[in-house]
Structure 1
Amino acid sequence: MELLFILFTIVVLVASVVYVLLQDHRAIPNRVFAVFTTGSLLLSCAGAVRFASRNMVEVWLLSGLLTSLQAAIFGFLIWLIMLLFMPHRYQQPLLRWVVIAPYVVMAIGLAVDWYGRLGIVGIDVVRGESGITNFVRGPAFWPVFALYITGCILVPLTMLVTIAVQHPKVRVPAIWLTAGTILTFLTGYISREVGLIPLAYASLLPLHLSFGWVTLRYGIFRPSQVALQTAVEHLPDGILVLDTDRQIRFANRAARQILELDREQRFDHALADAGFAEQTTDVDRELGSRRFERSNGQVLLISEVAIRDERGGTSVVLLRDMTLIERQRAELVASQKALAERSAALEHSLTELQQRDELLRRLTLPLIPLSQTTLVAPLIGAFDAERCQLLFSSILAEIAARQVRTVLLDLTGLTVFEQTLAHTLHQISNGARLMGAEVVLCGIRPDLAELMVHTSSTWDGLRSFATLQDGVAALLR
């Protein structure tokens, strides 16, 4: 009967491992559950073989394996509880290994003590007369037993009870697992007390049955549930679930950090306790959001969606920390303002430069009226294509504006006479003639006359004088 019970336990454990891995073999909770269940499976198999064996060496080898396996199994149970109910704690590598380290040390220490026949915790002694093997307790038996009771019974029970009290959303699964854990320990204790040692090695069955029930009922090992819980937990934005009384029923890690949540409370109270004051603008209302700000400059944008169901409905709240975005937006506005000021300054400088260039052009091309109908234009320096075009347009504009009849072009200040200037002078003469005015060349030096001759231009029809004075005197006569 006992062997049949152990066989039933093995079948249930194998089915649990296969079912959970088929749900999602890549999820970490599923893998840890598979390792935890495989350890229990090995424990049951080893217990069955030890119970049925008559080989003393085989019994001794399996006895050491059983104690080490029990310590390792409960270490994985602690990891499993953390993964299912406290994934944010499991994600901290240092805390994760600190939690399981005592179980690893216990498993290794028990194995070394047993197989090394040190007898610190205990040792099997064979009575020579009867051949019966008795377990003799060593000097460290009771401290190790107390450590076993604490780590393998009190710690997982305390974790499950604490989770059931502080987190109502997972209270029912935690209660089921708590009941399975208590029943497992009671089964193991009663089996040893009444002498049913093989049943003690199958005592983990109630715990695994409770895991099976919460798996089927609440889907804690299903990929959608695990993936969704992990994704929501690691979102950069805060996610809250509120009941009809605005009580916070769920908060992911980001929400707990933003609101500094350490207990379950009303949403508005949590905002006030965290120091947020509402500063919602009309633009925020149009977007369906509410804005809250802290005295330290932190900006929080809150969006809420109501979900109606047969139990009254809940609300899902999205908390988005806009502090960095607002700071970047302010910096962008300041940069745009500085850029606008810089652009205005550059435009002002450009205007000044244009006015200065215009003044310089006027200074380099002075047009001096001698009378109402006479204009003198001294040509100074060298004339490139741009200055030639400016000279042409300026003189024609003055002729039209002042109704000039005579234009004296003074060439005294010229340093270079090129084909471009010669062509421009002809254009000015022709244009002035069309407008009823005459162009007179003055200040023609010998070297300048030689250059003008070599430009291949004809100067017939243009009156010319050696100096400006001669040209003015001739006009006066």
Structure 2
Amino acid sequence: MTESLTDFFATFIFVIAGVALASFVILRAWDHRPARIFAVLISLLMVINISILGKVIFISHEIAYQLHAIFLISMALFTSTFVALLSTLFTPEWWQGRRPFIWIISPYTLATLALGFDLFGKFGFFVTGIQVDSVHSNVVTTVTTPAGRWLSALFGVSWLVPLFMMITVFVRNRQARETILVLAGGMIAFTIMNVLQFLNLFPFSSVMRGLILLLPIMVALTIVVFRTRLITPLRAAIEEAFEVMSDAAVVVNPNDQIVYANPHAIALGFKAHMQMTPYLRHSLKITTETLEMIRDASSSFPLVLNGRRFLVSVREIRNKRNQLQGSLVLGRDVTEVEERTNQLEQERARLSQIVQELEQEQRERAALSATVQSLALPVIPILQGVLVIPLVGSFDTERMRDLQTQMLAAIERQQARLVMLDLTGLSFLDEEGAAGLSRSVEAAALLGTRCILVGVRPEIAEAIVAQGLDLDHISTAATLQDAVKRALTRTAKVVAS
């Protein structure tokens, strides 16, 4: 009874410690894949220990069989989950691209499913039953078939996979060597304790032996979790950022070996553990000058890969002691951006051409408007020093200003002494127009030129008088013919004198 209580409390403490450790990691880095796998691994360890305890204090043979089935399946799952944890910690490239991890773990997954169906369905293909040794603390052993022994051998050999993985990482990754040694120490301790148990050199109950066997693995995994900074959310955030970023990202160690490549970089052919420079030189045909720019680790430059244009930037990675740890190479695909930029440049050139054409059209319209305006106010020299300006249509302030400008310019140009303003075609003259006409006549008088108003109608006369025009400089004529006769008479008098 005392031994059972000891086993119960030892298992209880082990489970509490496992729950605390798994919860701590999950709460700190749930988005990080290794954290989730680690939580599953610890859960399997707890299930294994609870099933061991249950087999010792079982009530019936059937319950013992069910607990032993759970124990066997949990051990099988523990093996494949352990491989998954190691791969996601040390060889994350296995989870990328074609995912070789799936091909490695698939046989064990299928074997575990087959074992589970056989155990709970009691088909007897792998396991025909269990034997209980009540003399030695209710030790439960499995009665297996030849196929079951082959299956056990498969799971036994499965430990060679993490062993091979750790040896490979130990050789290639110097920074992970201490962590690998910790794991190797835990596995060696686990193996030694298994040998001691096989030789019956453990003076403990079966439950305590199970706890002691799993303790080195759990301690080693805990140390690995802390040494690999699995509980640091920053690492999870950085890896997640690299996974989802649109740029191709490659991390190269000081030995010119790629240690990480995100999915966009993998699509370009970059893979972890390959040498960076030989791949660039031989596979991608990168020039020596470009390779020197990459080694410079402080520049940005364009690069063409697989027919697409990239803007590549290289930055050094240094630790807190300013020791060089490697380089981060980022490649941004600017193919679409450059194509869009070229399209915008072409569109800008087209719009610039349209603007120039519109400006030219505006100048032509301005010239045409000036021509029309000059034709609308024609200045006709009929005699030496005599001008005729017919006013046609309605005249507002703007047209009267044009009249004044053109009339004064013509007077100066022609040295005119007499200007005939033909108002016969004038349809309307408002007060502002009459004021403008008055200013034009007065301005001409200042130049020594006399004006004759021809064909003044009553309403036009009223508008002119209303403006208080000084009539000393103005003569009137009923028709243009009368005005011309008067001009001829005046010219003859000037010649006679």
Give the TM-score normalised by structure 1.
0.77
**Selected match of 1:392 from 394, 404, 408:** 404
Measure, in 2, the Cα distance between the counterparts of 1:211 and 1:400: 108
What letter matches 1:438 in structure 2? R
Alpha-carbon shift at residue 425 of structure 1 (Å): 2.0
- Shift in CA distance, 15/200, structure 1 to aligned 2, threshold 3 Å: closer
Show the counterpart of 1:441.
Answer: 453
Residue 173 of structure 1, aligned match among 161, 179, 183: 179
8 A Cα contact 2:301 2:313, kept in partner: yes
CA positional deviation for 1:84: 2.2
Q: How many equivalent pairs are there?
A: 463
Kept in 1: contact 2:248–2:264 (CA 8 A): yes
CA change 1:195–1:54 in 2 (3 A) is farther
Does the alignment pair 1:354 with 2:366? Answer: yes
1:278 touches 1:292 (CA, 8 Å); kept in 2?
Answer: no
Partner of 1:208, secondary structure, is: helix
Equivalent position of 1:62 in the other structure? 67
Match of 1:219 in 2: 229
Q: What is aligned with 1:141?
A: 148
Give the AA of the match of 1:124: G
Change (3 A) 1:306 1:60: closer
Give the Cα–Cα distance (whole angstroms) in 2 for the partners of residues 146 and 401 of structure 1. Answer: 121
- Cα separation, 1, equivalents of 2:251 and 2:47: 42
Shift of 1:380: 2.7
Give the letter aligned to residue 24 of structure 2: L
Whole-angstrom distance in 2 between the partners of 1:402 and 1:354: 26
Residue of structure 2 equivalent to 1:452: 460
Cα deviations by residue, 1:410-448 (Å, 9 ceiling, x for unpaired): 23444444444333322322222233322222245xxxx
CA distance in 1, matches of 2:110, 2:356: 74
Name the structure 1 match of 2:262: 253
Deviates more, 1:249-258 or 1:69-78: 249-258
Structure 2 regions of 5+ residues with no counterpart? 291-296, 490-497
Aligned Cα RMSD in Å?
Answer: 4.4
Q: Distance in 2 between matches of 1:157 and 1:124?
A: 32
Quote how far apart the aligned CAs of 1:37 are. 0.4
Q: Secondary structure of the residue that 2:128 maps to in structure 1?
A: strand
1:339 maps to 2:351: yes
Residue number in structure 1 paired with 2:334:
323
**Equivalent position of 1:365 in the other structure:** 377
Please name the residue that 1:73 is paired with: 78
- CA contact under 8 A between 1:378 and 1:411: conserved in structure 2? yes
Distance 1:84 1:234 in 2: 19
How far apart are residue 351 of structure 1 and its match? 1.7
d(CA) in 2 for partners of 1:116 and 1:163? 41
Q: Distance in 2 between the 1:195 and 1:65 partners? A: 27
- Find the residue that maps to 1:366 and give its secondary structure: coil
Separation of aligned partners in 1, 2:318 and 2:384: 92
Q: SS at the partner of 2:124?
A: coil
When structure 1 is superposed on structure 2, of 207-216 and 271-280 the one drifting more is 271-280
Q: SS state of the match for residue 118, structure 1?
A: coil
Equivalents in 2 of 1:163, 1:371: separation in Å? 113
Distance 1:466 1:270, change over 3 A: farther
Q: Pick from 386, 389, 413 the counterpart of residue 374 of structure 1.
A: 386
**Structure 1: distance between partners of 2:23 and 2:131:** 44
CA offset digits 1:238-265 (Å, max 9, x no partner):
55555555x2353341684486323546
Q: 8 Å contact 1:163–1:171 — kept in the other structure?
A: yes
Superposition deviation, residue 43 in structure 1: 0.5
CA contact (8 A) 1:441 1:464 kept: yes
Tell me the TM-score normalised to structure 2 length.
0.75
Query: Residue 214 and residue 359 in structure 1: after superposition, are their counterparts in 2 closer, same or farther (change >3 A)?
Result: same
The residue aligned with 1:38 is 43
- Whole-Å Cα distance in 2 between the matches of residues 47 and 306 of structure 1? 49
Distance across 2 between alignment mates of 1:279 and 1:237: 23
